[in-house]
Chain A
Amino acid sequence: MADKLVADKHVRYILMAEKKKESFESVVMDHLRMNGAYWGLTTLDLLDKLGSVSAVSGGFAGNTGHDPHVIYTLSAVQILALFDKLSILDVQKVSSYIAGLQNKDGSFSGDMWGEVDTRFSYIAICCLSILKCLDKINVKKAVDYIVSCKNLDGGFGCTPGAESHARQIFCCVGALAITGNLHHVDKDLLGWWLCERQDYESGGLNGRPEKLPDVCYSWWVLSSLIMIDRVHWIEKGKLVKFILDCQDMDNGGISDNPKDAVDIFHTYFGVAGLSLLEYPGVKTIDPAYALPVHVINRILFTK
């Protein structure tokens, strides 16, 4: 049973992952090196250890040689925001790339191949807000499209008619939060659906009814609940316990559930979840931008 956050072990795990580039796991995830960098670096900052890595460079594909896509563009922008190096970006170029992906109905494609998903709406809005270029897109239409993905249970799906899923809910609620449109959310209906994600056996959260709990939902469900001010509807202590139980106490890293292998993705979500639960020693993370609060405040407030 884990009774504390073994922060030092997680830091070591992340730094070692940087070095194990030729393992099979690493090669198979070559295409998302950019995301991995964001997850790893943000976790380090939350644990106050960002000084332990040197500056990162990278394009807006998942890795060099790969094709561009908004998913990796967001991670790139978030990484630069962490290091306060947004000035090295060609903001015009990046924001035009993203703005160019907005469709007539307000939705966003992920790249030139046209896949539409509310994840991309969130990514576009989050990214452009950080770059202070939100006026480059039609915000009203973007919001209208997101609202059209609202379901009868109060949640949101990938596209209109798609079922509610915690990941999409985070994206839609986050996008609405960043654009000041949370009044479109039925906070009571959605808040209740979200608080019912908590599993009575393990204390963890699942992503939709009848599914197994998973640490990554500690972020997606929790941040959504916080943005709509309904987080007091879950049992926080039990959730903390679940996340701590998912740690690898010996080698560091956090996994999706206590039995599975660890990875950077879940390490980030576990620590971010603990941040939202006000675990001592972890810096506060912003629930909408998924970056530390001090970073967001620095960027968005004038003085």
Chain B
Amino acid sequence: MHGRERNEASKPEETAAKALELRSLQSQFMSNHHQKIYTQEAIQLSAKLLGINPEAYTAWNYRKLALESRIDEDSDPSLVDSIIDEELRVVQNALKRNPKSYGAWYHRKWVLSKKGHYYSSLEKELQLLNDYQKQCLVNDYQKQDDPKKQDNARNFHAWNYRRFVVELTETSEEDELQYTNMINDICFSIYSAWHYRSVLVSSLVAKNADGFMPKETIRRELDYVHNAIFTDELGQSGWFYYLWLLDQTLKMETPLRFSSWPSDGSIITTFCSESGSFPLILYFDQAVSGVSSSTVTIDSELKANEDLVWEPVSDNKNSQVDSCVWVAHLKFDSRGPCFSRKENKVKVSLGGIVSSMGCNLSTPYEFVFTVLHTVGESSQQGIVSWTDGFNNWDDAQSKDLNSFIALNADAGFEWRKEAIKIEIDHLRNLPDSKFGKLILARLLMAEETMISDDAVKGFHYTEILQLYNDLIALDSWHAQYYKDEHSVALLHKVTSSTESMFRHLFRYRNMNNIVCLRLNNLTLSRIAAVEKLLFVQMLDLSNNELHSAEGLEAMQLLCCLNLSHNRIMSFSALDSLRHLKQLRVLDVSHNLIGGEHPVDTTRYLCSSPLSNSGEVGREVPCKYWDAYLVLRDLMKLKQLDIRGNDLIFSGEEFSSFVRQVVPKLVWLDGHKLTN
């Protein structure tokens, strides 16, 4: 019970008497309420009840009915005033008893929103609130070490109510910003004030208000928040605001960026014996909607590709959905006339796409790639091995090693880089501080993405990785968080240059020399940098610490995936794989699937009846429901390995379940299946 000590001695006679009084009040009140009695006496009784027990919500309802019965459009103004005064007084009393009573705060709001414009003392309401909040702050401050202190300066009801009164009295946002300054001057750790500030500043910038242009506002706010974070050692609130400002510095008005497969200037090879299509993948750095054949046009001599169907890589296939990854399939006809020519150029134009953050693609962006047709060997039929049959990477081969490309010229780049540099310098000068190190690491990562000069690229990664290692030592409770961030940085480092990538690339002879990327044994707990890996067809992530396949859904070319010896705990964690329609070989052996992990942390991140998504009406078996949902979508799956996982999957039951769900499976756990 909040605020009541255990073993608080209370005399039984006293509490019994109190209980009796309250019980009697409550019954009388109920009787008045049900009989709709709104006499002065009855109304005062309800006030008495609410003064003792502000949570008796029905009594607040009753008072609203009583008010409606006493005043209407034609009532005398002074009567209205006095009744409003009375209601506000009752609320005030109730709040003294419980400053966090939902019923009390809402009643005040209801009264003023219904009758506020009749109320002569409306302007006083904001002043009353200012005084109340300030008094709370001063009280809290004085009783800092008192465990019984109420902590009302952070009362979110009061702050929410404030926004209501501000709107009702049409107070300006600039004035409110001054108010948050006043609060911060007294105490820097009132998160509510910083939150409110972020809302006000965003709104003023969005409106282009005087003195609130993006660049100058950010500079001013960064200087302002320095006071909080560099002086108030223990307070967290300023740091969160600082983080948000830095995020705005990087993202405000930045252009949309994307990467694609095939990428600009690349040459892709198709084999005449294969099915006549290949995917065109667009990967944006923000979720976008409206990708369709009217916004993305294809110009090529391949078979008519005018009405391409673009689909988001998400569960909802609606074109209005926001998604980062979009795919369409370009068809080619191996018997068609264009095949007499070995090469065909394809030009792709992007225009009119809108991101969820409001970025617009103002001028069309074009890129061109070449399709090369060859007569190839038929696909291998034998079992795919992860150890034998690989060739080293041939340096001479061109590579689709691409990062995000900005779709618009970014005029504001320079001030952003400057601002980040200044903050990096400040942070470097701080003594060991968890927030300081974390934010420095993030800023260095951001700076890396802004560097276009290949010679200097990759420079920061060593420092970034060291910072995360320092953080794991400094703040061990959040070790897994820093580990995840470390993995992200490591993957960006590996993919930051062609030389470092080449060490991880191979070709698998037995499958038409498809591209294989080996990222095994890197202690990776998280997948990242996927925008650079769209060209990969075979991926080895074995012997890492991954607990989910989140991020892999964009790798639409993937046909072989090795996730063995990781920390996958359920099939729901592999939900992303459902989108990999080309997947033929999947190894999830030696994980933790089906073991003593009753809590499923990916239960709601996949489409299922639990989240009211996926195909409506389709029957989903209760047992192995997540395995069912993942496997049934992998139409091309031929080889699956689930050995070395726990308990419920051992033995015949699960194997026969798999064979039912994936009838075309050829190899299971290293053995060829007989029909």
Identify the A interface with B (CB < 8 A).
22-32, 61-62, 65-67, 69, 111, 113-115, 129, 134, 151-153, 157-159, 161-165, 177-180, 182-183, 191-193, 195-196, 198, 200, 208-212, 214, 226-229, 231-235, 238, 248, 255-256, 259-263, 266, 275-276, 278, 284, 286-288, 293, 296-297, 300-303
Task: Enumerate 8 A-B pairs (CB-CB under 8 Å) in ascending A order.
Answer: A61-B58, A113-B64, A177-B604, A210-B191, A210-B235, A229-B550, A235-B476, A302-B621
| Closest beta carbon of chain A to B147's beta carbon, Å | 8
Asked whether, in the complex, the Cβ of B610 is within 8 Å of the Cβ of A296, the reply is yes
Query: Closest Cβ of chain A: how far from B273's Cβ, in Å?
Result: 38
Contact of A261 among B1, B18, B163, B314 (CB under 8 A): B1
Measured CA separation A152–B244 after assembly (Å): 7
Given A129-B612, A210-B236, CB of A262 within 8 Å of CB of B6 = yes
Chain A contacts of B287 at CB under 8 A? 183
Bound CA span A22–B15, Å: 10
A66 CB contact (under 8 Å) in B58, B102, B159, B597: B58
Q: Does B22 contact A (CB under 8 A)?
A: yes
Chain B residues within 8 Å of A115, by CB: 102, 106, 110
Does any Cβ of A come within 8 Å of B622's Cβ?
Answer: yes
Minimum Cβ distance to chain B for residue A255 (Å)? 7
- B110 in complex: contacting residue of A113, A200, A266, CB < 8 Å: A113
If A67-B58, A152-B202, A163-B195 touch, does A300 touch B240 (CB 8 Å cutoff)? Answer: no
Contacts A152-B198, A276-B599, A301-B625 known; A209 to B240 CB distance under 8 Å?
A: yes
| Interface residues on chain B, number (Cβ under 8 Å) | 86
* Contact B2–A260 (Cβ < 8 Å): yes
B208 at the interface (CB under 8 A from A): no
Q: Which of B5, B237, B480, B625 contacts A259 (CB 8 A)?
A: B5
B475: nearest residue on chain A (CB-CB)? A200
Of the listed stretches B49-57, B459-467, B513-521, name the one at the interface; the rest are far from the partner chain: B49-57
Contact B478 A233 (CB under 8 A): yes
- Chain A neighbourhood of B34, CB < 8 A: 65
Hey, which bits of chain B sit against chain A, CB under 8 A?
Answer: 1-8, 15-16, 18-19, 22-23, 26, 30, 34, 52-53, 55-58, 60-61, 64, 102, 106, 110, 147, 151, 154, 156, 159-160, 163, 189-192, 195-196, 198-199, 202, 235-237, 240, 244, 287, 314-316, 322, 476-478, 480-481, 484, 547-548, 550, 573, 596-599, 601-605, 607, 609-614, 619-622, 625
* B58 partner residues in chain A, CB cutoff 8 A: 31, 61-62, 65-67
Are B477 and A200 in contact, with the CB atoms below 8 A? yes
Q: Which residues from chain B contact A302 at a C-beta distance below 8 Å? A: 609, 619-622
Query: For B195, what are the chain A residues with a Cβ–Cβ distance below 8 Å?
Result: 151-153, 163-164
In the complex, the answer to whether B607 meets A195 with C-beta atoms within 8 Å is no
Which one, A192, A262, A278, A293, contacts B1 given CB within 8 A?
Answer: A262
Asked if residues B154 and A28 are in contact (CB atoms below 8 Å), the reply is: no
C-alpha spacing A162/B19, complex, angstroms: 37
**Pairwise interchain contact B156-A209, C-beta atoms closer than 8 A:** no
B163 in contact with A162 (CB, 8 Å): yes
Minimal beta-carbon separation of A296 from chain B (angstroms): 7
Task: Name the B residues within 8 Å of A232 (CB-CB).
Answer: 480, 547, 601
Instruction: Let me know if B620 and A260 touch, CB within 8 A.
Output: no
What is the chain A residue whose CB lies nearest that of B322? A183
CB distance from A48 to the nearest CB of B (A): 14
Contact B611 A229 (CB under 8 A): no
Instruction: Quote the shortest CB–CB distance from A103 to chain B (angstroms).
Output: 14
Bound state CA distance, A256 and B383, in angstroms? 58
Q: Using CB atoms, name the residue of chain A closest to B102.
A: A115
Which of A163, A226, A303 has most chain B Cβ within 10 Å? A163
Of A31, A129, A296, the most chain B CB neighbours within 10 A belong to A31
- Compute how far the CA of A100 lies from the CA of B625 in the bound complex, rounded to whole angstroms: 34
Q: How far is the CB of B100 from chain A (nearest CB, A)?
A: 12
Specify the chain B residue showing the minimal Cβ separation from A299.
B609
Question: Does A180 lie within 8 Å of B611, measured CB to CB?
Answer: yes
> Complex: how many Å from CA A192 to CA B56?
37
Kindly identify which residue among B22, B147, B191, B192 contacts A27, using a CB–CB cutoff of 8 Å. Answer: B22
Q: In the complex, which residues of chain A have a beta carbon less than 8 angstroms from the beta carbon of B22? A: 24, 27-28
Question: In the bound complex, do residue A180 and residue B6 qualify as a contact, i.e. CB atoms below 8 Å apart?
Answer: no
Q: Which residues of A contact B53 (CB under 8 A)?
A: 28
Chain A residues within an 8 Å CB radius of B196 = 163
Neighbouring B residues of A293 by C-beta, 8 Å: 598
Residue in chain B with minimal CB distance to A302: B619
Residues in A whose Cβ lies below 8 Å from that of B2 = 214, 256, 260
Q: Which residue, of B548, B609, B611, B614, has the highest number of chain A Cβ atoms within 10 A?
A: B611
A193 to B243, alpha carbons, bound, how many Å? 11
Q: From residue A141, how far is it (CB to closest CB) to chain B in Å?
A: 14
The CA of A297 and the CA of B609, in the complex, are separated in Å by 9
In the bound complex, do residue A65 and residue B621 qualify as a contact, i.e. CB atoms below 8 Å apart?
no
What residue in chain A is nearest B55 (Cβ atoms)? A31
Are A195 and B478 in contact, with the CB atoms below 8 A?
Answer: yes
Residue of B at shortest CB range from A129?
Answer: B612
The residues of A that contact B244 with a CB separation of less than 8 Å are 152-153
Which of chain B's residues has its CB closest to A225's CB?
B601
- Name 5 extra pairs, CB < 8 A, besides A232-B547, A259-B147: A23-B19, A162-B163, A180-B613, A248-B6, A303-B619
Q: How many angstroms from the CA of A30 to the CA of B480 in the assembled complex?
A: 44
The chain A residue sitting closest to B438, CB to CB, is A192
Kindly provide the distance from the CB of B286 to the nearest chain A CB, expressed in whole angstroms: 11
- Once bound together, how far apart are the Cα atoms of A149 and B345, in whole Å? 47
CB contacts (< 8 Å) of A152 on chain B: these are 195, 198-199, 202, 244
Query: Are A284 and B599 in contact, CB atoms less than 8 angstroms apart?
Result: yes
- Whole-angstrom CA separation of A74 from B57 in the bound complex: 17
Once the chains are docked, how many angstroms separate the CA of A163 from the CA of B160? 8
Residue pair A297, B110 in contact (C-beta under 8 Å): no
* A226 contact set on B, CB distance < 8 A: 599, 601
Nearest chain B CB to A131 CB, angstrom units: 12
Evaluate whether A233 and B480 lie within 8 angstroms (CB atoms) in the complex, with A23-B19, A27-B19 already known. yes
Q: Which B residues are in CB contact (< 8 Å) with A153? A: 195, 198, 240, 244
Residues A27 and B605 in contact, CB atoms below 8 Å apart: no
Q: Which residue of A lies closest to B193 (CB)?
A: A163
With beta carbons under 8 angstroms apart, the residue of A62, A182, A301 that contacts B609 is A301
* Contact between chains at A260 and B64 (CB < 8 Å): no
Looking at the complex, which one of A31, A195, A248, A296 makes contact with B56 (CB distance below 8 Å)? A31
A65 and B532 CA atoms in complex are apart in Å by 64
Q: Is the CB of A182 within 8 A of B605?
A: yes
Of the candidates A67, A129, A261, A300, which one forms a contact with B8 in the assembled complex, judged by CB atoms under 8 Å apart? A261
B residues near A238, Cβ cutoff 8 Å: 477
Instruction: Report how far A155 CA is from B573 CA in the complex, Å.
Output: 24
CB-nearest residue of chain B to A196: B236
Known interface pairs A233-B478, A256-B1, A288-B610. Does A163 touch B604 (Cβ–Cβ under 8 Å)?
no
Which B residues touch A65, using CB under 8 A? 30, 34, 58
How near does chain B come to A65, taking the closest CB pair, in angstroms?
A: 5
Judging by beta carbons under 8 Å apart, are A22 and B23 in contact?
yes
Residue numbers in A under 8 Å from B7 (CB-CB): 261
Distance in Å: Cβ of B610 to nearest Cβ of chain A: 6
Write the nearest CB–CB distance from B658 to chain A, whole angstroms: 18
Choose from A62, A158, A191, A210 the contact partner of B57 (Cβ within 8 Å).
A62
B3 A260 Cβ-Cβ under 8 A: yes
Contacts of B3 in A (CB 8 A): 260
Question: Which residues of A sit under 8 angstroms from B609, Cβ to Cβ?
Answer: 300-302
Q: Contact: A261 with B4, CB < 8 Å?
A: yes
Q: Does B607 lie within 8 Å of A180, measured CB to CB?
A: yes
Measured in the bound complex, the distance between the Cα atoms of B41 and A299 in whole Å is 50
CB distance from A78 to the nearest CB of B (A): 16
Query: Do A177 and B6 contact each other (CB < 8 Å), given the known contacts A27-B19, A163-B159?
Result: no
